[in-house]
Structure 1
Amino acid sequence: MSDFEPKLILKGVFNHLRRDGFNLGMGEYMAAVEAVEGGWGSNKNELLDALCLLWCNSLAEQSRLRILWDTVIASSKQKNREEQPEEIKTSPPTKSDYSEKSPTREEVKTQPVSTAKTTQEIAAQPVKPPFIPADIEEDREFENYWLLSRRQMVYAWRYLRRLVADGQQDVLDVNQTVEKAAKQGFFLQPVYRRREKNHAHLLLLIDQEGSMTPFHRFTRDLVDTVKYESDIERVDVAYFHNTPAESVYKDSHLTTPIALNEILARCDRDSKVLVISDAGAARGYRRMGRVRAITEVLFDIKEYTNLIAWLNPMPKERWDSSSAQIISHLVPMFPMNKEGLAQAISVVQG
């Protein structure tokens, strides 16, 4: 086992920072665990950069974390060592030990046979002590925190619709029934109208891997809820890495490419498009090449529909000095929380 184990020290660092005043919840902790499992944090400096990215909301917090880092990681390592029981190493007996203790055949013959029962002295054998787990201090400030809960997603999707009265004619129209009876002077039969159906079409373009790795659980929930827990008639999902190019992907593992034009050809003027990406805000990058590429894709989308919005999983204050700040002037961009999703749906609803 290497000297640096990011998962072992992550909880200690997390608790220390909370006691020091950092506004952290269970969502940030789980995001850091998933980032480590995704390959981040292979050494001390890389883990520090990842935690600055995930747990700090300002440059001041990043500076505080870097100042506290060596002390925090040292205390976390010491605590983990104390929690691990020491193993007592035992060496197997050698051949010479057996030869010294075992009597020869002649000695066995000369010894008198005694009818009394002899007690065998059993040498003390080295025994591994039982593992007693160390008491874990409960942090009652832990709470379930998510950018968006599944329940909030399901509720928000109810407002994304395009209702057309083309269903079965089995809905009682009370107003028309009363009006008809008043004109005739008597009630003959009720008036029915057609049932409304939601013919909305939604296209999700989701940034995958890289800086979006900590947010995979939220994007998975978005896809699952809109596909299986909403009444939206048509849902198309495409994935990309950093920037939607000429080709996007059908699957979240980015293994099955499909032309972007083929996806857009399914859209019409009533189609609604949601883009989910940090747009460089996670790492604070401002790259004009990325901005130009995204601008071209946005123009391509607007040839089919103007109902487009952007969900950014990073908080709004992290957009400054990054590509996200520029892109937010090209397309309505909202943080990926309860209010942000509601505003994005309001925009694409038209």
Structure 2
Amino acid sequence: MTHPLPPLLLGLFRELKANGVPVGIRDYLDGIEALRLGFGQDSRAALRDLAIALWSRSDEERRVINRWFDVLPAPDDALAATIDDQLDRLDTTASEPTGAPTAPTARPTAQPGAGTTPAPATSLSPEATATQAERARVSFAAAREGSGLPIPRLASAPAIDEDYVLTPQPLVSPRDMAVLWRRYRRSTRHGPRTEMDLAATLRERCRRGLLCRPVCRPHRSNSARLLILADASPSMDPWRPFLATLAESLPLGRLARAEVRYFSNQPRRQLYATPGLTEPETRDDVLRRHAGAALLVVSDAGSARGALNRRRALQTADFLNEARRHFPATVWLNPMPKRRWAGTTAGLIADGPVPMLPVDAPHLLRAIDILRGNK
């Protein structure tokens, strides 16, 4: 029994993803477009060369593609026929008019032994067919119980036979965050005297006329300290990867001391060591331990839900006033766009003495400068 040929190299694409090859939607669509232009349809070798040219960047990736073609059971004739059939189906789907309703259609099924994948028949209403030709329907459903904001999900499959591989794109990469932390420096000298002080050595030589040994001083080191308070409430779920990036990049910043503590909605009497709000510690103990450091608060401050809670704004203002007695510099990062702050709790907090900045590369750089003391 022979295995059916995956449509339009979909099996190869999945094999590459399974082996860690960084191919995405654009690469898959480039492969389909190349087939439509006539490349790779002459023989198995031509199709193999096309896949290597489009999707491989190293010897290991080429070996993965070669292995996949070596175990492909279909002969060259069946391969070319299957490619033509799949391209015809895609072209037919793309050429359907979107302005007028179309009758429900069923996808053609292949005869046994033809080497193609039987496609199940589908029955759609005229309105659904016309809508799918324009765009995929999106519905909203919560990811889990009590997770906060709903996550958009497809209500129906797209009209074309393609699988999309979505790769998450972080707001800021860990490497870029580490570079930003390196900018946050306060150089001081402390420790053993192992570095020669040339100016002091010359002065000592001129004063005594005889120099027994050079004058040494401690090396410069970064004495900057940082405390990050991150909001781990359900409304911050979309930015959990950004919070993880903050925590992962801190050890790469070479700060004298840096720590992340979590809260829900607003910093109350207890702060937590994990995003799951476990391992509590009193807020006063945390503030006293990091007195003299810089403070960075990360929260949407109610702007994600568009809510205005004056009591929350007053309590947050009291906390910030207390924090200013312990920390010489404080910055608030809000991942929501600035235009969404107006009329929410975030807008009231942003009007206070602590600067509130959006989360993007220029404003992150500005936040670091404020933490350094450059107002």
| TM-score for both structures, normalised by structure 1 | 0.58
Contact preservation (8 Å) 2:222, 2:256: yes
Q: For residues 135 and 243 of structure 1, do their structure 2 counterparts lie closer, same or farther at Cα, with a shift above 3 Å needed?
A: closer
Matches within 5 A, 1:150-299: 150-176=174-200, 190-226=214-250, 228-268=251-291, 270-299=292-321
Distance 1:298 1:347 in 2: 16
Between Structure 1 and Structure 2, whose CA radius of gyration is higher? 1
**Aligned twin of 1:146:** 170
The offset of 1:209, in angstroms, is 3.0
Distance 2:164 2:320 in 1: 50
RMSD: 3.7
Matched, 1:77 2:157: yes
Contact preservation (8 Å) 1:273, 1:308: yes
The offset of 1:267, in angstroms, is 2.8
Report sequence identity in percent: 30
Matched, 1:341 2:354: no
Matches within 5 A, 1:28-43: 37=143
CA deviation digits over 1:104-141, x for unaligned, max 9?
xxxxxxxxxxxxxxxxxxxxxxxxxxxxxx44479xxx
What is the DSSP-based 3-state SS (H/G/I as helix, E as strand, rest coil) of the residue aligned with 1:195? strand
**Which of 299, 309, 316 is the equivalent residue of 2:338?**
316
Work out the number of aligned pairs and report it: 240
Distance 2:333 2:192 in 1: 36
Contact preservation (8 Å) 1:284, 1:322: yes
Matches within 5 A, 1:32-181: 37=143, 50=151, 76-77=156-157, 79=159, 134-136=161-163, 145-176=169-200
Distance 1:186 1:257 in 2: 61
The offset of 1:180, in angstroms, is 6.1
Contact preservation (8 Å) 1:277, 1:312: yes
**Aligned twin of 2:327:** 305
Contact preservation (8 Å) 1:243, 1:290: yes
Q: For residues 321 and 191 of structure 1, do their structure 2 counterparts lie closer, same or farther at Cα, with a shift above 3 Å needed?
A: same
Distance 2:340 2:175 in 1: 26
Q: For residues 41 and 344 of structure 1, do their structure 2 counterparts lie closer, same or farther at Cα, with a shift above 3 Å needed?
A: closer
Distance 2:356 2:297 in 1: 9
The offset of 1:146, in angstroms, is 3.0
What is the DSSP-based 3-state SS (H/G/I as helix, E as strand, rest coil) of the residue aligned with 2:183? coil
The offset of 1:294, in angstroms, is 0.6
Structure 2's unaligned 5+ residue stretches are 1-24, 26-130
Q: Which amino acid aligns with 1:151?
A: R
Q: For residues 253 and 189 of structure 1, do their structure 2 counterparts lie closer, same or farther at Cα, with a shift above 3 Å needed?
A: same
CA deviation digits over 1:1-47, x for unaligned, max 9?
xxxxxxxxxx9xxxx9xx99xxxxxxxxxxx99x96456899xxx85
The offset of 1:275, in angstroms, is 0.3
What is the DSSP-based 3-state SS (H/G/I as helix, E as strand, rest coil) of the residue aligned with 1:284? coil
Distance 2:228 2:174 in 1: 17
Contact preservation (8 Å) 2:232, 2:275: yes
What is the DSSP-based 3-state SS (H/G/I as helix, E as strand, rest coil) of the residue aligned with 1:229? helix
The offset of 1:200, in angstroms, is 2.2
Distance 2:168 2:208 in 1: 62
Contact preservation (8 Å) 1:202, 1:274: yes
Matched, 1:332 2:366: no
Structure 1's unaligned 5+ residue stretches are 1-10, 21-31, 52-71, 83-133
